Structure 1
Amino acid sequence: MDAREDLPKISVETEQDWRRLQRNISTAFLDRLGLELESQSVSQDRESFMPHINQFLDTLFAITRPNLRINGRTTEEPYDDDEEMEPFDEALDRHIWSLSDQRLKWDREIGSRRRTRPTEVEALVQGVYTQHHGVDMDIDANQESCLPGLDSHQLDPAMEETFVNAVTMSAQLSQSVSMQYERANRFTAVSTEVKALKP
């Protein structure tokens, strides 16, 4: 709960509403007093109780006044122009304060992330770099162990000849595949035409 709401206020829209509330409380109090006096058969003493009742009600309303909010303003604040003031929306005020609290929470979280995330990302990148560098070192070591004593520009003549033959055969294969594909397309077209020429 917010610190502003530790002491809840009595909220009314206008000063007239507060006066009507005072009248209703006074009327209810006097009616209850009348019932009590009638039940004890001393209703003729009502007038002697009235100054004490009025003093009690005045004290009650005076005590209540600091805990009163009229149109969103406490009664301790001075009222300048009641007519020019817009009505206070309590729900909107609570919503605005909750959004403000939420914004502060997100600002704190973003600030915390700005302090911690760069070091986390740096450690992650460093780990990935170290891992890749280790893999590259392993590949280099494996290549050196497979071809010991050979220069990278020297290859076995038999291996070179095999490689050239493989490249040549792949070129011929790609040519023959394209030719076979064209022949299959022509065959499909011719068979469609022949089927269309029924005697």
Structure 2
Amino acid sequence: ATAKATADKMTAATNLIKSLEGERIRWTSDAKRFADRKMKLVGDCALSCAFVSYSGPFNHEFRKKLQQEYILSDCIKRDIPVTLDLNPSTFLVDDATVAEWNSQGLPKDDLSIQNGILVTQATRWPLLIDPQAQACNWLKRREAKNFPVWGTTTLNHPRLRDQLEFAMSEGKPLLVEGVQEELDPMLDPVLEKNTVKKGNNDIWKNSDKN
């Protein structure tokens, strides 16, 4: 009886080892993939940061050209490990966030997702060329709970300066609609994020006052 029990245990152990062989192969493959991603992480971050910093003014085709022929090639030239087919849209934002943006009205195409990334992750406040009002409608839904009581404003609103100062001092989003090719110089320091440090606060500078 003891010999049979031992044999049964040996058989069970052998079967367990065999069943785990597939897992061992998968774990080994995952470990190699994670090591490769870790090695390329600095380069991928550099490429993605460059995308956010420089891609805003360009269309989808030229953004690809900028990434492949300039940013990526520069990383390769400097021997910086980087993912050759890196997609900033999937590197910088997860599926859940994209799904949320889609539910708020942002289109699902890659260009729109890129624009969503630029709006939410760029360090400067964005100036959007939006002839179909897609971005505008998305932002209105996205920031509905955060807007000041008056909601959005326009470039020719008589109290635009006061609205800007209130929104910036209170940390509120402000959507200025109907901006044309000629901008009020008052907006220059805002778009350029021209601020000075006073204590722990960033103070907005303009031509008249802080």
Q: Aligning the two structures, in what range does the TM-score lie when normalised by the shorter sequence?
A: under 0.3
Please, what TM-score do these two structures have when normalized by structure 2? 0.22
More helix by share: 1
Structure number with greater Rg is 1
Greater relative contact order (CA < 8 Å, ≥ 6 in sequence): 1
